[in-house]
Structure 1
């Protein structure tokens, strides 16, 4: 037999159609509890007072009418605690020994405002004290009824209200932390995408520029077998380097959640500038590399940023200035490293036209800003172009 059939299955389907937060209740369970409390109170009063004389000479129809009204009022005690509690105080002389006043005082303390609680508790004390000291009363009401009717429900309600407030604050804090973590994860993903985009641009732009230049030289010197073979070897070596660096950058994207990261190859730093310069010199470019000041070890991120700056500057020279003379200067100061790449005006039109996306200098500015440095790029007054940066000296931690 399927679980979806039968009375239990029909009740489940009916419950699913009911809203999770009906009317003013926090949940369906809270609504069901209040309805059962109201029905239980009304039924108990009717059964206990069937053959009982009612105090103060209240007619039986009035007694049962007030009982039913108070029972119905218990359903809305969470929504209107103060108003219904005031009605319960007024109905106390009628429903003296079966008054729902403790339930309403609990609701005011747990769900209402504190100023209402003070006023309504005072009114209840006044009403009960008047009943206790009424001469020739027909109902014996001991003095400790004040404690039973007032102090107990109020204290329990205050405890429940404080506990609910703490739980709501903790839930709100957990939701806020979850939202903040989601924003941090999104920001981290965006930063990682930006970093990968910069790395791919630096790798592809420079290596492919060198390959295009060497391929042009290969076409020009096709008749010279030795020169063509040398150009072919250079193109092959540059292509392999580009593939290795791309494989390293893209390897991060291929990792599964439970897969351990493969050991990453060392990122190029200042020590690799000589190799970078030699690769550009092999295309016929005149490059001068100068280091000034006492050289000190740099943090890996700083050294990598310097390498990428020089690489991007040389790529732009290949694209826009051909084989124009270029000067690379690294000046070590007491607190900062100054890097400058200056190229002269091209002697003639650039033979090889290379596409330019316009994102290289933007990526450099972002990369250097992350290192806390200052970046500048623009044409020189005497002609040519200058790319420079000032990076704070951060020694690698042991």
Structure 2
């Protein structure tokens, strides 16, 4: 709109300023008075603002005013806009021919009865510049605009198809991972639970019954969490959330530590700082960090003494898991893929925290993290 207003002011100034500054006529065409001539010129020039919406109407108005020689400079603008934005080629052809004939008649026969050869040579090219050139330029720009719009639409369609294909590929891969986890991991954990139950029933003495019962309980918890993960993997991306059980939080750390103690580990849990209800993502990350650290101690450090420290400060949760030097090599013989600490670092980094893991100078091992937190309303 700003550009069209500037174009309208330019046409109006080009049409009226030379008349006002240099050659004010005494008699106006068709017997018009001076105020009527300037009023019609002003209205025609300002009508250029609507050249995109009503280009045909603008051309008709300018063509009708050609005999009165009123704002003829608006004609090329109207023809260009009609060629670029008009929907009917027939209307463009008719108005272009009429405008050319009217402009040629006005240029050749205005003020004299018979044109000369000099008039034909010098005036007809001006007619071409007023009518033919704007029409050709408008048709070229309109065709180019149509091509660009079609290419843009095709590009957007291809992008949507690519997103749909990528989404379908992700869903297929998630479904495949879910099937593999269900067929392999869930099956093995279920067998472990069944065998622990059979051992608990068949044991004559009660010396190891508690440990067998603990194995079954841990297996059932692992199976429940595995089913939650499978539910998340199988949910469609269009769904907002998958049905899942409550995830473990910091309130479950005591039970996790008791389970590890029952398995023979020496663990000391220390908490400090104000007790607050934190966001579930931070609490779940802290729980998984302690869980993975204790699992690594059980795998690699045997019965080494372990210290778990949680310190809550405004906006952050400081967590440290230290284990002493193991007295003997571990006999747990648990498999290790080497990705546990990498996964913990990713969990903490995603939240914007800091994670460190490595050996201590005295031969032990330390896992520490600073997790950003925010309080949640109870």
TM-score (norm 1): 0.52
The one of 309, 314, 333 equivalent to 2:294 is 314
Change (3 A) 1:335 1:145: same
Change (3 A) 1:171 1:146: same
Aligned to 1:63: none
Change (3 A) 1:310 1:177: farther
Looking at structure 2, the residues matched to 181 and 298 of structure 1 have their Cα atoms a distance apart, in angstroms, of 41
RMSD, aligned α-carbons: 4.5
Displacement of 1:377 after TM fit?
Answer: 0.3
Q: Does 1:297 align with 2:277?
A: yes
Change (3 A) 1:162 1:290: farther
Other structure's SS at 1:356 match? coil
The one of 109, 117, 125 equivalent to 1:134 is 117
Displacement of 1:232 after TM fit?
Answer: 2.6
Aligned to 1:373: 353
Looking at structure 2, the residues matched to 360 and 189 of structure 1 have their Cα atoms a distance apart, in angstroms, of 24
Change (3 A) 1:305 1:256: closer
After superposition, what is the alpha-carbon deviation per residue over 1:312-339, rounded to whole angstroms, capped at 9, x for unaligned? 1011011101222111111112332111
Q: How many residues align?
A: 254
Aligned to 1:233: 213
Displacement of 1:260 after TM fit?
Answer: 8.2
> Does the CA-based 8 Å contact 1:299-1:397 persist in structure 2?
no
Aligned to 1:10: none
Is there any run of 5+ residues in structure 2 with no aligned partner, and where? 1-79, 85-103, 109-114
Looking at structure 2, the residues matched to 254 and 166 of structure 1 have their Cα atoms a distance apart, in angstroms, of 45
The one of 350, 354, 357 equivalent to 2:334 is 354
> Does the CA-based 8 Å contact 2:271-2:309 persist in structure 1?
yes
Other structure's SS at 1:227 match? coil
Aligned to 2:314: 334
Looking at structure 2, the residues matched to 357 and 271 of structure 1 have their Cα atoms a distance apart, in angstroms, of 29
Displacement of 1:300 after TM fit?
Answer: 1.3
> Does the CA-based 8 Å contact 2:312-2:318 persist in structure 1?
yes
Looking at structure 2, the residues matched to 339 and 257 of structure 1 have their Cα atoms a distance apart, in angstroms, of 34
Aligned to 2:131: 152
Looking at structure 1, the residues matched to 334 and 326 of structure 2 have their Cα atoms a distance apart, in angstroms, of 15
Looking at structure 2, the residues matched to 293 and 256 of structure 1 have their Cα atoms a distance apart, in angstroms, of 41
Aligned to 1:324: 304
Displacement of 1:388 after TM fit?
Answer: 0.6
Change (3 A) 1:358 1:133: farther
Is there any run of 5+ residues in structure 1 with no aligned partner, and where? 1-105, 111-124
Displacement of 1:229 after TM fit?
Answer: 2.8
> Does the CA-based 8 Å contact 2:356-2:369 persist in structure 1?
yes
Looking at structure 2, the residues matched to 391 and 142 of structure 1 have their Cα atoms a distance apart, in angstroms, of 84
> Does the CA-based 8 Å contact 2:300-2:329 persist in structure 1?
no
Displacement of 1:296 after TM fit?
Answer: 2.1
> Does the CA-based 8 Å contact 2:231-2:243 persist in structure 1?
no
Other structure's SS at 1:226 match? coil
Alignment of 1:240-279 (within 5 A): 240-255=220-235, 262-279=242-259
After superposition, what is the alpha-carbon deviation per residue over 1:202-260, rounded to whole angstroms, capped at 9, x for unaligned? xx7xx97xx79x98xx89xx976213332332222212111111111111333457888
Aligned to 1:392: 372
